[in-house]
Each structure stands twice: as C-alpha cells, then as structure tokens.
Amino acid sequence: MANLNLAIKENRPLSRAEVTEKYPDIPPLVILKADVQRRGVHYSEAALGALDLELHATTGTHIFGARDGKIAARPESLLLRDGSSIITTPTPLELDPYLVDLHEGRPFLFEDGEPVEEVDYWPRPDFYDKTSSSGTLMQNVVSARPQRLNIFPYRYCTFWNNGNGCSFCDIVTQMKKGKEELGIPARLDPLEVKEVVWEALLEPGRYAALFLTAGSNVAGKRAFDEEVDYYIEILQRVGELFSVPKIPSQLIGTAFDDGQLERLYRETPLTSYTADIEVLGEELFNRHCPGKAEWIGYKEWKRRLVRAVDIFGPGRVNTGLVAGVELTSPGGYKNEDEALARTLEEAEDLASQGVSTVYIVWSPRPGTAIGDQKNASLEYYARLAAGLHGLRGKYRLPIGFDDYRRCGNHPDSDLSRLHNF
Ligand code: SF4
C-alpha cells in the first residue's frame, strides 16, 4: 500500500503492481493483458527459438500491421495460463515493451528483467499448411485465433481514396506488404473461403465462432452496397456448410443503412453485428475518422447501431473504440479523467439503447498520422474496462459474441467471464 500512496501523492502514472492493488475487482491477468497490449512485446532470440513452426501459429493475414512495421515469422500472439489471449504486436525495444524470453525453458513475459508470467504461443491450426484447389496456401485465405476463424475478404478501404482514412490506420501499407511479402490475395473468392472453412472445421472442437471484417467500400447504388453484397456472398457460401440457418458469427462492417442491415440479417447465417465508431464524441470522431464522418456522420453512425439492435436483437450489436486516441493532440481531451467521463457518458447513451461498447488498446503504428504519440496510462485502460463492463451490467447486455473466447482483444469484455448478463 505504501507504494500506491506514494504514487498518488507524487501524481505519477501507477505501475502495473499499483493498478492491480488499487483495483482488486479486476483480475490481475486482465490488467497484465492490457499492459502488454499497451506496451507491446519484444521476442528474444531464445523465445523465437522456442517457436515450433509445426505447432505454433505465426503472424498471419492481418489487415493491420505490427508496431515495428515488420512482417516476419513470429508467434501470432500469446496465451495466458487462464486460457485467455493477449493480442499484441512486436514492438521496438526502445519503446520499452515487455520482453518475451525463456525462463526455465518456457516462454515468460519479463518486466524490468524479472519473469512475471508464463505464456504460451497460439496453437497452429491443422489447415494452415494445406493448399486450396486454386493452389493458394489456406492460411492466406482464412486465419485463426485460438477459438475463432477470421475471414478478411479484402484489404483496402475506400476512405483512403481521397486521403480520409482514420488517423490510426495502416491498412494500405499492410495490404501492400501482405501482397508482396506473403502472397495474400487482395480479394478472396467466396467459394475458396467456403473450401477453407470446411477444411478448418475438420479440426474437432476448436472453433466457437466465425468472424469477418474488411475496410469500408463506398461503391454501389447506395453507398456501401458493394461491401454488403460481398459479405452476403461470402456468408451464404460458408452457411452452405451448416444444416442450421444461423451460425455463431460476427461481422465488423461499416454502419450500414436499414435496408442493408436487414439484408445482412435476413439473407445470411450472421448472428451479430459490429460497426466500430472508433472514438466517442462527435468532434473527435470527425477529426480521427474523416471518411466515416464524410459518408455517414457521427449521429447517423450511432442511429444505425441502435437500428441494428431491432434487427439482430439485444446483446448482438456492439461498437469498438481504439482507446487512447481520444487523448492525442491536437484536439484530444485534456486529461484521462475527462476522457473517461465523456467516453462513458456516450457509451451509456448507446448501452441504454441496446448497443454495447468494447475497446481495443490503441497501438501507435509507424506511418500513421498519430503513430508518434503515446497511448494512455494502464490505470486509464483498467478504469475504462471496468466502466464499460459496468454499463453492460446496468443495461443487461450480454457480450458473448465478442468475449475472451471468441475475440480476446478487449480487456473490458474479458470481465464478462466473471459476471455475464
Ligand atoms: S474505416 Fe478507418 S480504420 Fe477501418 S480500414 Fe477504413 S480507414 Fe482504416
């Protein structure tokens, strides 16, 4: 307690140990996970030597890049002892990341030279090394988290056509790297996706859900019609593998209009829908997401989320934040207390209408407009997790489709493991 009191008196950011002590209702592993996401990781040579390419998943078909800007054979990410995931990216040593190194022959997270927690690498899916009928390596068509299949149907976003991409986004750089360095198709063939999902499902008992996301595509008779048409085609092809009309699945797409949302629900096996607003507060949204602001607008984005609840049902719609960008300059909140209060106020407005809010820890990436700024303190991420989880409790919003098992990228929805609603 002495250190915690001292930290508060000195008005400095709390260390991980101090945050853990101050917030006993948040499990220490959730706090550790948020900190590892916040600071990133660096793999030692020994840790990389323990990577077994036959047993472990290596960096896959991401649409966003790593913090050190490289694509290389490194562990896809980490598993904690409680079976939850840490989704984090390799980070240059000068940014003070956690070190992954061996301790008594096993991978551990190290902080300040001390081993703090045992970790494991993600298991390699059985289908990764097979090739599809077109000769493409299957891991370049569909990728996997420990319990979820990921489909990234294409790797561009038309908001970048006039330079209005989001301030934290590196999708274009990553698309070029993926194409040149990994041979990933820029656009997937829905029949090939079906073929690979079939192969993936032969691994017994592994996957709990299917997930799709891509960048926004304004093309079509009504804006985003082509994006919706393409998702529908992929979901329908995959749906043919199942004997039931609906399968556990999540789409992160643009905020679609009422007709597009109805088509997505009615014509596909999709069960849950996410449209990431990225940052709460209209001025910040306009600043950080100019393409979303240009084509849809903040108030309309929120309205469409609420409308989606009527279609998909309560507890099946959410929106994601890139938490930390709200504190960047210019234009950000003056301090973390204000950022937290304003963000939770807006999240409550959504929760009261049936829409959950989850966050990812913002990872400043090279080449992005705000990539040279720092993300928030660990205490901010702990308080935000508790606050968003608390809103789900208050408004009885289950988050099973985006929890520690299916997604694993949200410290706030990890808390649903303790109290689901
Ligand atoms: S919507 Fe924003 S974050 Fe998403 S791909 Fe487009 S520019 Fe990037």
Span 196-237, pLDDT tens digits: 999 999 999 999 999 999 999 999 999 999 999 999 999 999
Q: Which of 121, 146, 169 is the C-terminal boundary of a domain?
A: 121
Q: Which of 121, 152, 178 is the C-terminal boundary of a domain?
A: 121
In this structure, the answer to whether residues 165 and 45 fall within a common structural domain is: no
Q: Say how far apart CA 371 and CA 319 lie, in whole Å.
A: 23
In this structure, the answer to whether residues 102 and 165 fall within a common structural domain is: no
Through-space distance between the first and last CA atoms of the chain, rounded to whole angstroms: 33
Gap from CA of 212 to ligand 1 centroid (Å): 14
pLDDT per residue as tens digits for the range 311-369:
999 999 999 999 999 999 999 999 999 999 999 999 999 999 999 999 999 999 888 99
In this structure, the answer to whether residues 238 and 384 fall within a common structural domain is: yes
**Number of domains present in the structure of the chain:** 2
pLDDT band for position 384 (cuts 50, 70, 90):
very high
Q: Which residue ranges have their beta carbon within 6 Å of ligand 1? A: 157, 159, 165-166, 169, 171, 215-216, 291
In this structure, the answer to whether residues 401 and 270 fall within a common structural domain is: yes
Q: Whose CA is nearest to atom 7 of ligand 1?
A: 165
266 part of a folded domain: yes
Could you identify the atom of ligand 1 that is nearest to the CA of residue 170? 8
Cβ pair 298, 285 in contact under 8 A: yes
156 part of a folded domain: yes
Instruction: Give the residue numbers spanning the domain of 117.
Output: 24-121
Gap from CA of 169 to ligand 1 centroid (Å): 6
Gap from CA of 144 to ligand 1 centroid (Å): 21
Gap from CA of 314 to ligand 1 centroid (Å): 26
Q: Say how far apart CA 360 and CA 409 lie, in whole Å.
A: 6
Gap from CA of 395 to ligand 1 centroid (Å): 29
In this structure, the answer to whether residues 107 and 142 fall within a common structural domain is: no
Q: Which of 92, 121, 150 is the C-terminal boundary of a domain?
A: 121
Q: Which two tokens stand for residue 340?
A: 């937290």
**Looking at residue 71, what is its pLDDT?**
63
In this structure, the answer to whether residues 266 and 365 fall within a common structural domain is: yes
DSSP label of 133:
T
pLDDT per residue as tens digits for the range 295-307:
999 999 999 999 9
Gap from CA of 84 to ligand 1 centroid (Å): 27
9 part of a folded domain: no
pLDDT band for position 69 (cuts 50, 70, 90):
low
Single pTM value for the model: 0.94
Q: Nearest to residue 411, comparing CAs of 376, 375, 387?
A: 387
In this structure, the answer to whether residues 43 and 159 fall within a common structural domain is: no
pLDDT per residue as tens digits for the range 161-170:
999 999 999 8
Residue 32 has pLDDT above 60, yes or no: yes
Gap from CA of 170 to ligand 1 centroid (Å): 8
Secondary structure of 384-416 in HEC code, one letter for each residue: HHHHHHHHHHHCCCCCHHHCCCCCCCCHHHHHH
113 part of a folded domain: yes
In this structure, the answer to whether residues 72 and 170 fall within a common structural domain is: no
In this structure, the answer to whether residues 273 and 409 fall within a common structural domain is: yes
Task: Give the mean pLDDT of the chain.
Answer: 93
**Quick one: average pLDDT of 83-105?**
92
pLDDT band for position 154 (cuts 50, 70, 90):
confident
In this structure, the answer to whether residues 157 and 83 fall within a common structural domain is: no
The residue whose CB lies within 8 Å of the most ligand 1 atoms, and thus the one to mutate among 63, 64, 166, 294, is 166
Could you identify the atom of ligand 1 that is nearest to the CA of residue 165? 7
Q: Whose CA is nearest to atom 4 of ligand 1?
A: 215
Q: Which two tokens stand for residue 322?
A: 């890139």
Q: What are phi and psi of 403, to 5 degrees?
A: -100, -165
**Domain of residue 380, CATH code:** 3.20.20.70
